[in-house]
């Protein structure tokens, strides 16, 4: 198992009341697997900010090591992932 720290930014954080969560996943998991895990745990109140229901496209950015990464990116034990809605900014 690998442990991942997930941080939520912008309106995902405000709408769901979630700032940060810890998730355990199987070895060789990807960000896509992480999103599936989050969906099964938190349902639509969180996933609606990450995936467009109609198209199935991602509507958030995923950052690992301060770099935007693809949802197919493999995760490693103790990675920190930041999930930021595309419409967010400062």
**CATH (one of 3.10.20.30, 3.40.640.10, 3.90.1150.10, 3.30.470.20) for 2-85:** 3.10.20.30
Parse the chain into domains and list their residue ranges: 2-85
Q: What is the pLDDT of residue 17?
A: 85
pTM confidence score = 0.86
pLDDT of residue 56: 84
Q: What is the pLDDT of residue 47?
A: 84
Helix/strand/coil for 46: helix
| CA 48 to each of CA 11, 75, 77, 79, 85: distance values in angstroms, whole numbers, following the listed order | 11, 22, 27, 24, 10
pLDDT along the chain (90 residues), means of 10: 94 84 96 93 84 86 92 96 76
Distance of CA 63 to the CA centre of its chain: 9
For 31, the enclosing helix (H) or strand (E) is helix 31-42
Residue 18 pairs with which residues in a beta bridge?
Answer: none
Residues 50, 77: Cα–Cα separation, whole Å:
23
Q: What is the pLDDT of residue 45?
A: 79
Among 39, 41, 89, 36, CA closest to 61 = 89
């Amino acid at each position: 198992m690998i442990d991942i720290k997930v941080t939520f930014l912008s309106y995902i954080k405000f709408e769901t009341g979630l700032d940060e969560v810890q998730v355990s996943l199987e070895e060789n998991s990807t960000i896509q697997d992480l999103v599936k895990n989050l969906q099964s745990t938190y349902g639509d109140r969180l996933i609606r900010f990450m995936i467009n229901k109609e198209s199935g496209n991602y509507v958030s950015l995923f950052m690992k090591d301060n770099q935007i990464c693809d949802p197919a990116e493999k995760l490693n034990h103790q990675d920190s992932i930041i999930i930021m809605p595309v419409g967010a900014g400062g």
